[in-house]
Amino acid sequence: METPQLSSLYQQLILEHYRNPRNKGELEGTSVEIHMANPICGDEVRLQLRIQGGQIEEAKFVGQGCSISQAAISMMTTLLHGCSLADATILAECFTRMMHGDPDAAEDKRLKNLRALQGVSKFPVRIKCALIGFDALQEALKTHAKEDES
Amino acid sequence: MTTATLDPVKIRREFPTLDQSVNGKPLVYLDNAATSQKPRAVLDALRAYYENDNSNVHRGIHELSRRATVAYEESRAKVASWVGATEPAEIVWTRGTTEAINLVSTAWGLNNVHEGDEILISVLEHHSNIIPWQLLAQRTGAVIKYIEIDDQGRWVLEDLSDLLTDRTKVVAISHVSNALGTVNPVKEVAAAAHEVGALVLVDGAQGAVHIKVNVQDLGVDCYAFSGHKMCGPTGIGALWARRDLLDSMEPYQGGGEMIHIVEREMSTWAKVPHKFEAGTPNIAGAIGMGAAIDFLSEVGMDAIARHERGLLEYALERVSAVGGVRIYGPESLEEHSALISFTLGDAHPHDIATILDSEGIAVRAGHHCAQLAMKHFGISATARASIYLYNTEDDIDRLAEGLEQVQSIFA
C-alpha cells in the first residue's frame, strides 16, 4: 500500500480552523440540537441549528477533539447558513461519500473548503473524526423532519 | 542482587512482529501497555499444542487429553509461582484482568457487600476496575468512595484513615497506572485496609508485567492480571486469590467442569479452582501464557526492570526536551513505570499518534480507559509511549524525532 502523505492531512486551512473555529458557541433560539461523541477517542460535538421556513438560518457548535474533527465541524457550519434542508442533506451525503473515497464526490464544487479534508480518506482510522460533525448534521435533519411531521 | 543485563537487539529477533516496515519506516512499537508483542517461544507453544496435543482438558481418558491436561495444569503452576501463590489451586484462569475483577465483584461481592457498605477505589483506576464495582454498588446499594490523586498522579493518602471505615468491605486498586505509569503503594494501603477488615483486590494488569510480584509480600487478597501484556496470547489471564477466600466464594458462571454432582434441583461444585472455570477453557492461551513466563524468566525480571528503567530515564529526557511537551505522572523514577503519558502544545493526542504512525511509530492516544484520571488533569486525552524489554535507545530517538515533526506541523 502506498504511504499516504501527512501534508495531505494537515493542511494549513485545517489547522487554521482547528485553532480559530467558526461558529463555536451557544446558539439562541435553537430548533434542533444533537450531541454526538466517539467514546473510543473522545471526539465530541453538540451541534445546534436554528431552522426557519425550510432553511437553516444559523448553525453553531460546541465540541472538543482532534484537529480533523473540529476543523471539519467548523468548516461545515460556515456552509450551512442560509442553506435549505434539502441542500444540507445533499452536502452531508456528498461529504460522507468523499470520505469513503468516492472521487466524483471529491470533485463536487458544493463542498467548497471542505474539499481540503479529502486527504483524510487516505487515513482509514481518522475518517470517523472527519465525519462526526456531518453525522450530527444528518441526525439533526432527521430529528427535525420527525418533529415537523408530528 | 544480580546485575544481569539484557541485549535488546538480540531479544528483538525473538519477536517476528517487530521485524517489519510501517509506512515505509522500520516499525517502532511503543504501545506495549495496550498489548505486548509475542516471542517465537509463545507462538511455537501455541502451534505445538494445536498440532500435537489438541484435546479437551479434564475430560478425556485418551492420550491427547492427558497431554493437554498436563500442559494446561503445568502452566497454572508456572503462573502460581510467578506471583508467589501458595499453591496452583489459587490460580483461576480467566479471559484477562477484566474478567478476573468481574469474577470477584460478582461471586464474592454479591454475597458480601450490602446496602450502605463501602467500596474504596481510586480515581487512577482503569475502567475495568471501576465499572464492575459501580455495577455491584447499583445491585447492592453500596457506596463507592475514591482515593484522590495529586498533580503528579499519585494517590493522596493523608486522609486514608477517614476513607477506610468499618463499612468498607473491599478496596480495589491498581498496582501500576496504565494511564500515567504511577507505581502505587499497594502494600501500605492493603495493610490499612486489612485493619478495618476489608478485602483487598489489586488490578495487576500493568504490574505483573514490569514488577516481580509476590502476593504474600504485598499482603493482598486478590491479584488480577493478563497474559497478553506480558508476551502471552490474548484472551487469557488469571485471578490469584487466597485459597480460603476462593473456597468461601460461590461460583461465577455455571456449566461444565465446575460441577461435582448434578441433581435435578440443586448441584454441588467442583473444588477450586475448577469451581470458577465453567466450560471449555482457553487451553492454548493458558499454555501460551506458561510459555511467556518461561521466556520472561529466562531473560530475567531484574534485567528487564533495569533495562526499562534506563530507557524510561532516557525517554523522559528526550521527550521533555521537545518544545511544548507536558509529561503527566510521577517525577521520581522510583514511582514511575515504563511509560510516558504526555501532551504536546495544542496538538490533539490523536493528531500526535497519526503523525507518529506515518513515521512507523506506534503509540496510544486517548483517555486510556481512565477517564477519571484524565478529568483530574482537566484533559480528555494524552499520548502514551510505553516501553518493554525489546525497545532500544534507537526507538526513543525515533520517537523524539517524530515529536519534533508534530511540533513543526502544529507550530
Quick one: which of B154, B34, B354 has its CA closest to A4? B354
Model confidence at A78, in pLDDT bands (50, 70, 90)? very high
Whether the predicted pLDDT of A67 surpasses 70:
yes
Residue A7 has a CB neighbour count (10 Å cut-off) of: 9
Quick one: which of B101, B14, B68, B38 has its CA closest to B233? B38
pLDDT of residue A38: 87
pLDDT of residue A2: 55
Number of residues written out for chain A:
150
Cβ–Cβ gap A66/B348 under 8 Å:
yes
Whether the predicted pLDDT of B69 surpasses 90:
yes
Buried b (16+ CB within 10 A) or exposed e, B99-131: bbbbbbbbbbbeeebeeebbbbbbbbbbebbbb
What ipTM was reported for this prediction? 0.89
- CB-based contact B241:B221 (threshold 8 Å): yes
pLDDT of residue B2: 52
Residues of A in contact with B381 (CB under 8 A): 41-42
pLDDT digits over B188-246, tens only?
999 999 999 999 999 999 999 999 999 999 999 999 999 999 999 999 999 999 999 99
Average of per-residue pLDDT across B148-169:
98
Question: Structure pTM?
Answer: 0.94
Residue from B348, B352, B356 to probe the interface with A (highest A Cβ count within 10 Å): B348
CA of A126 vs chain B CAs: smallest distance (Å): 8
Distance spanning both ends of chain A, measured CA to CA: 50
B28 Cβ contact list (under 8 Å, min separation 6): B359, B360, B361, B362, B395, B398, B399
CA of B125 vs chain A CAs: smallest distance (Å): 17
- CB-based contact B170:B119 (threshold 8 Å): yes
Whether the predicted pLDDT of A3 surpasses 80:
no
Cβ–Cβ gap B354/A40 under 8 Å:
no
Whether the predicted pLDDT of A120 surpasses 80:
yes
- Beta strand B199-203 with B168-174 is parallel
Q: What is the DSSP string of B131-163?
A: HHHHHHHHHHT-EEEEE-B-TTS-B--TTHHHH
Our CA angle for A73, A77, A80, nearest 5°, is 140
What is the spatial distance between Cα B18 and Cα B11, in angstroms, rounded to a whole number? 11
Whether the predicted pLDDT of B49 surpasses 70:
yes
Q: What is the percent of chain B with per-residue pLDDT over 70, rounded to a whole number?
A: 99
Whether B231 sits among the annotated catalytic residues: the reply is no
- Beta strand B118-122 with B168-174 is parallel
pLDDT of residue B61: 87
pLDDT of residue B35: 98
Model confidence at A42, in pLDDT bands (50, 70, 90)? confident
B298 Cβ contact list (under 8 Å, min separation 6): none
pLDDT of residue B60: 78
Question: Cα torsion for B145, B151, B154, B159, to the nearest 10°?
Answer: -50
Quick one: which of B106, B110, B136, B100 has its CA closest to B121? B136
What is the spatial distance between Cα B139 and Cα B130, in angstroms, rounded to a whole number? 14
List B164, B171, B353, B369, catalytic entry? B369
**Which option is the CATH number for A6-144: 3.90.1010.10, 2.60.120.260, 3.40.50.300, 3.40.50.2300?**
3.90.1010.10
Please report the number of interchain residue pairs, chain A to chain B, with beta-carbon separation below 8 angstroms. 47
What is the spatial distance between Cα B309 and Cα A86, in angstroms, rounded to a whole number? 60
Model confidence at B58, in pLDDT bands (50, 70, 90)? confident
pLDDT of residue A1: 47
Q: Where are the alpha helices (DSSP H) in A5-150?
A: 6-9, 12-19, 67-80, 85-99, 103-107, 127-149
- Beta strand A83-84 with A55-64 is antiparallel
Domains of chain B by start residue, with CATH = 8-30+300-409 (3.90.1150.10), 43-297 (3.40.640.10)
SS3 B168: strand
pLDDT digits over A11-38, tens only?
999 999 999 999 999 999 999 999 999 8
Residues of B in contact with A18 (CB under 8 A): 346
pLDDT digits over B73-97, tens only?
999 999 999 999 999 999 999 999 9
How is chain A split into domains, by residue range?
6-144
- Largest interatomic CA distance in chain B: 72
What is the spatial distance between Cα A112 and Cα A115, in angstroms, rounded to a whole number? 6
Model confidence at B1, in pLDDT bands (50, 70, 90)? very low
pLDDT of residue B131: 98
Cβ–Cβ gap A42/B367 under 8 Å:
yes
